[in-house]
């Protein structure tokens, strides 16, 4: 089973061990199990006891983290889930793991590179595209189309985006 990153613990929430997770959208509300990975360590699977929206984050309580100190110790951990448990992201939405490795081309067919990472900016996610011209940051804006059928991302870049 493949684990994919669905978010990151960015802070402790409250006193009862809730984790504030960014980058997960509504995914956490539907999962029974997540894995937490700190640094380069092995992921540790934990049962989700509670998940609720908390402003721009999700506050989750997982098995084994029972107080604020334990939650603070988990800050910085990646939150992972089994890809099979996620299903389809929905119309005009994408799992980051499905975008990584896709080729990026312009509408004129020029190869920009390959998606090597993503940034969650709190607004529009940003693709990290690495190619012959180095690393380019491409916001997932209306001028970007993820063509799932063709397995590529097509961008109609505004002037200066790829310079």
Question: Per-residue pLDDT tens for 1-28?
Answer: 588 788 889 999 999 999 999 876 667 7
Alpha-carbon distance of 1 to 143, in angstroms, equals 34
The fold for domain 96-155 equals SH3 type barrels. (2.30.30)
pLDDT tens for residues 28-41? Answer: 788 899 999 988 88
Q: Residue ranges of the domains in the chain?
A: 3-86, 96-155
73 pLDDT above the threshold of 90: yes
Report the CATH number of the 3-86 domain.
2.40.30.60
Cα-based angle 44, 46, 51 (whole degrees, multiple of 5): 135
Beta strand extents in 14-148 (DSSP E only): 18-22, 33-37, 44-54, 57-62, 78-82, 103-106, 111-119, 126-131, 134-139, 144-147
Bridge-based pairing state of the strands 152-155 and 103-106: parallel
Q: Of 62-66, 132-136, 143-147, 151-155, give the range with the top mean pLDDT.
A: 62-66
The pLDDT value recorded for residue 92 is 58
3-86 and 96-155 share one fold: no
């Amino acid at each position: 089973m493949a684990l994919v990153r669905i978010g990151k613990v960015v802070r402790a929430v409250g006193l009862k061990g809730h984790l504030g997770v960014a980058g997960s959208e509504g995914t956490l509300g539907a999962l029974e199990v997540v894995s937490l990975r700190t640094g380069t360590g092995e992921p540790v699977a934990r049962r989700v006891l509670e998940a609720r929206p908390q402003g721009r984050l999700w506050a989750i309580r997982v098995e084994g983290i029972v107080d604020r100190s334990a939650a603070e110790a988990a800050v910085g951990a990646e939150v992972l889930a089994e890809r099979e448990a996620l299903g389809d992201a929905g119309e005009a939405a994408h799992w980051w793991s499905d975008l990584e490795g896709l080729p990026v081309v312009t509408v004129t067919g020029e190869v920009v590179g390959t998606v090597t990472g993503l940034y969650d900016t709190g607004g529009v996610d940003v693709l990290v595209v690495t190619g012959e011209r180095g690393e380019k940051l491409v916001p997932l804006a209306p001028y970007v189309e993820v063509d799932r059928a063709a397995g590529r991302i097509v961008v109609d870049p505004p002037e200066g985006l790829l310079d």
